Chain A
Amino acid sequence: MTTTTATRSRAAAPGPIRWLAGAALVGSLLVLLGGADVVEAFELFPVEVLMIFMALDLFTGLVAQTGILDALALGAARRSRGQHRRLLAFFAAVLMGIGVANNNLTSLLIVMPPLITVMRAMRVSPRTIHLTFAMLLAVGNCAGAATPVGDFPALLIMAAGVTTFTDYLFLAFPLFAATAAVLVMLYRCISPRSDTAETSTPAMCLALIEARHRYSRVDVPAATRLGAIFVAMVLCWVFVPPATMPPVLISWLGMAIGSVAVAGRGIGPRLTTFDLDPALEIAAVAFVAALISTTGAIAWITRAIEDVSTTPVVVLLLLMVVTTAVCAVVDAGGAATALLPLVAGLSAPGAPLDDVRAITVVAFAASICAGSSLLLTSATAGQLMSAKIEAADLLDGDGRAVRFTFKDYLRLGAMNCGVQLLIAVAWSVTALAIAGELL
């Protein structure tokens, strides 16, 4: 017991400090050697992403206090019958269902607490934890790109007016749903068939988690009120123009109304215990991404691609590769913002992709999706996931804290990105061929 406690104390030490120090170092190099503009970077810094994350984290805290996430965890544990491989499909389906109408941060903040509860009870190995969350990160990216109201890049694409709601939905949803399904099957194949640390068997894990939640009751009125408020938030995100009411305002308004609505039931936002670590880590990476955006490298790449070829398939494939690479280095929102003018230019009247604008936009979204899945730092959701896993106090069989680091995700990220990009390329070439615009 003493050993375990000591190990936990060591592992819990300085998560965000490392990120902030790393960001300061990389930022200094970018300013000194790359010509990055700090003032411009602060203007590009996505404050609204941090604010949305904080509001949604507090809102999820309210939902957690109703007991509904525990019920979901218990349901998942029963459904999986203690087999972690069954969990993959279950939580991927839940994430896909939530993610098509929400940004990745919201989706993961809803899905992660019950999943962590189940994985903690099952005491799976660190490898299985890495596999599970790597799959969820990629599926979350697919879910966010599957509809025009999913993640921020999709919203940006819609806001830019380069495609219509129906065109995007009709083309993108089957592609991303199929990609998510392929990823789930792939991860099921590479996951170990049986994996529990210590000497636990799945039946023992299930019996213990059921005993731990034997008398946990869902506060149905509170959960219903918060559910209704969440639906209202989603509808506002979808139908109210950002210029009229920004998404960040909707998030905080929803959190405030939710707090008031359930205050009478002894549920309230846990402001004093709010975990700042994920917010600081996200801020560190977002600042570096903003600095990179100011170096002019992206603008140079966009000009270069226009000079290479005018053949639709070549231009489209180049666009996809460049978008994937840029998105992997910068974040998804930053890449979408930076490269959208290029997409608009390449699909403008008389441009190489003029007649296949809808296909181009979906291929662009698929590339952003693939790039977001390459590195843990490529998407805000990845940083959130890493921070949440570190804070979750998951232990391996030896009592050591399980972490999900940049290095842990690297190989899985390459696989995620490769699979997503391959499917996207195959889809794009097929779509161009069907449209008769291949060459």
Chain B
Amino acid sequence: MIDDLAELGLLTFHDALRHAGASRDEMAVHIPGEMVEAKPTDLVELVSALLTRSTLVLTSPELALLEALATADYAGEVVVFVPPTLPSHRVVSLKRNIPAGLDVTFCPAGVQPPHLTPFGSSFLSVGIDAGGGTTLLQAWAASVTAFWRGQVWFGARCLLLPYPVLARSRPPGWAAVTTSTAFTTVLGETSRPLSEEAR
């Protein structure tokens, strides 16, 4: 099931299991238990601030985010970093499962997205507020963020916090990052610029 989470992303994975009537215990094996019964914020509204960006770089696959961007008629390019642990058959189904109207490029691990410039582009991660200035990200998204931040990428790094909850547990496959260091902007329950760079 960890592959399902990696392929679909947190939002779609959570939504699918919630609608299937999964119990709290079953879901809490893979995602922080505090968000099991939470309802996410309207994603289309959440991503509206990003529609002016020419390129959005998703640090991990997130189907619901692609759906929200398609609904909001996003005209730019979306780049998705594919987790190296995803089996090849899942990479095939990941690449086929794209909402119509979006220009999506999938980038394997260790490969730099083509034509990526800091101007008008933004990295984008979906996480859960863990309190104390930290955020929980899927491990692969945290790795990508850590690699690009400050060494290769000096542009915007945006964090989406779609769930109004505070995570108190960290299931396997998740990593905690310092929010203010890893990101320049947080969009979610308390949307706030973290540095001058975000402007």
Q: Which A positions have Cβ atoms within 8 angstroms of B?
A: 1, 4-5, 8, 67, 70, 117, 120, 123, 198-201, 203-204, 206-208, 210-217, 392-393
Could you say which residues of chain B place their CB within 8 Å of the CB of A212? 4, 7-8, 93, 97
Could you say which residues of chain B place their CB within 8 Å of the CB of A1? 2, 85, 139, 172-173
Known: A212-B7, A393-B89. A200 touches B16 (CB 8 A): no
Known: A1-B85, A5-B85, A199-B26. A207 touches B93 (CB 8 A): no
Contact B4 A199 (CB under 8 A): no
Could you say which residues of chain B place their CB within 8 Å of the CB of A393? 87-89
Q: Which of B2, B15, B20, B85 contacts A204 (CB 8 A)?
A: B20
26 A-B pairs whose Cβ atoms sit less than 8 Å apart in the complex: A1-B173, A5-B85, A70-B96, A117-B89, A120-B89, A199-B25, A200-B26, A201-B22, A203-B21, A204-B17, A204-B20, A204-B26, A207-B16, A208-B1, A208-B13, A208-B20, A211-B8, A211-B16, A212-B7, A213-B93, A213-B96, A213-B97, A214-B97, A215-B97, A216-B93, A216-B97
Looking at the assembled complex, report how far the CB atom of B31 sits from the nearest CB atom of chain A, in whole angstroms.
13
A327 CA / B15 CA spacing, docked (Å): 52
Q: Which of B15, B20, B89, B98 contacts A201 (CB 8 A)?
A: B20
The answer, yes or no, to whether B19 is at the interface (CB within 8 Å) is yes
Looking at the assembled complex, report how far the CB atom of A198 sits from the nearest CB atom of chain B, in whole angstroms.
6
The answer, yes or no, to whether B63 is at the interface (CB within 8 Å) is yes
The answer, yes or no, to whether B134 is at the interface (CB within 8 Å) is no
A363 CA / B22 CA spacing, docked (Å): 52
Give 4 nearest A-B pairs by CB, closest first. Answer: A207-B20, A207-B16, A203-B20, A204-B20
Could you say which residues of chain B place their CB within 8 Å of the CB of A211? 8, 12-13, 15-16, 63
Could you say which residues of chain B place their CB within 8 Å of the CB of A214? 63, 97
Given contacts A1-B85, A216-B97, 6 further A-B contacts (CB under 8 A): A67-B96, A201-B22, A204-B26, A207-B16, A208-B20, A215-B97
Look across to chain B and name the residue whose beta carbon is closest to the beta carbon of A199: B26
Known: A200-B1, A215-B99. A207 touches B26 (CB 8 A): no
Could you say which of A70, A210, A215 has the most chain B C-beta atoms within 10 Å of its C-beta? A215
Look across to chain A and name the residue whose beta carbon is closest to the beta carbon of B70: A215
A215 CA / B12 CA spacing, docked (Å): 13
Chain B positions 124-173 with a Cβ under 8 Å from a chain A Cβ: 139, 172-173
Q: Which B positions have Cβ atoms within 8 angstroms of A?
A: 1-2, 4, 7-8, 12-13, 15-17, 19-22, 25-26, 29, 63, 85, 87-89, 93, 96-100, 139, 172-173
Contact A216 B139 (CB under 8 A): no
Could you say which of A67, A200, A392 has the most chain B C-beta atoms within 10 Å of its C-beta? A200
Could you say which residues of chain A place their CB within 8 Å of the CB of B63? 211, 214
Contact A204 B22 (CB under 8 A): yes
Could you say which residues of chain B place their CB within 8 Å of the CB of A392? 89
Could you say which residues of chain A place their CB within 8 Å of the CB of B19? 207
A201 CA / B85 CA spacing, docked (Å): 24
Looking at the assembled complex, report how far the CB atom of A68 sits from the nearest CB atom of chain B, in whole angstroms.
12
A320 CA / B96 CA spacing, docked (Å): 50
Q: Which of B2, B17, B29, B139 contacts A207 (CB 8 A)?
A: B17
Look across to chain B and name the residue whose beta carbon is closest to the beta carbon of A208: B4
Looking at the assembled complex, report how far the CB atom of A121 sits from the nearest CB atom of chain B, in whole angstroms.
8
Looking at the assembled complex, report how far the CB atom of B136 sits from the nearest CB atom of chain A, in whole angstroms.
16
A402 CA / B6 CA spacing, docked (Å): 21
Look across to chain A and name the residue whose beta carbon is closest to the beta carbon of B21: A203
Looking at the assembled complex, report how far the CB atom of B5 sits from the nearest CB atom of chain A, in whole angstroms.
9
A8 CA / B2 CA spacing, docked (Å): 15
Looking at the assembled complex, report how far the CB atom of A27 sits from the nearest CB atom of chain B, in whole angstroms.
34
Look across to chain A and name the residue whose beta carbon is closest to the beta carbon of B8: A211
Could you say which residues of chain B place their CB within 8 Å of the CB of A216? 93, 96-97
A211 CA / B9 CA spacing, docked (Å): 11
A212 CA / B6 CA spacing, docked (Å): 11
Looking at the assembled complex, report how far the CB atom of A175 sits from the nearest CB atom of chain B, in whole angstroms.
38
Could you say which residues of chain B place their CB within 8 Å of the CB of A207? 16-17, 19-20
Could you say which of A67, A120, A206, A212 has the most chain B C-beta atoms within 10 Å of its C-beta? A212
A198 CA / B22 CA spacing, docked (Å): 13
Could you say which residues of chain B place their CB within 8 Å of the CB of A210? 16
Could you say which residues of chain A place their CB within 8 Å of the CB of B93? 70, 212-213, 216
A198 CA / B13 CA spacing, docked (Å): 16
A117 CA / B13 CA spacing, docked (Å): 18
A8 CA / B3 CA spacing, docked (Å): 14
Contact B16 A208 (CB under 8 A): yes
Could you say which residues of chain B place their CB within 8 Å of the CB of A5? 85
Could you say which residues of chain B place their CB within 8 Å of the CB of A215? 96-100
A67 CA / B95 CA spacing, docked (Å): 12
Look across to chain B and name the residue whose beta carbon is closest to the beta carbon of A204: B20
Look across to chain A and name the residue whose beta carbon is closest to the beta carbon of B9: A211
A207 CA / B15 CA spacing, docked (Å): 9
Could you say which residues of chain B place their CB within 8 Å of the CB of A201? 20-22, 26
Could you say which of B8, B26, B96, B139 has the most chain A C-beta atoms within 10 Å of its C-beta? B96
Could you say which residues of chain A place their CB within 8 Å of the CB of B29? 199
A229 CA / B141 CA spacing, docked (Å): 45
Could you say which residues of chain A place their CB within 8 Å of the CB of B100? 215
A393 CA / B139 CA spacing, docked (Å): 22
Look across to chain A and name the residue whose beta carbon is closest to the beta carbon of B93: A212
A306 CA / B97 CA spacing, docked (Å): 63
Known: A5-B85, A199-B25, A201-B20. A208 touches B99 (CB 8 A): no
Could you say which residues of chain A place their CB within 8 Å of the CB of B139? 1
Looking at the assembled complex, report how far the CB atom of A216 sits from the nearest CB atom of chain B, in whole angstroms.
5
A200 CA / B22 CA spacing, docked (Å): 8
Could you say which residues of chain A place their CB within 8 Å of the CB of B25? 199
Looking at the assembled complex, report how far the CB atom of A80 sits from the nearest CB atom of chain B, in whole angstroms.
15
Could you say which residues of chain A place their CB within 8 Å of the CB of B1? 123, 198, 200, 208
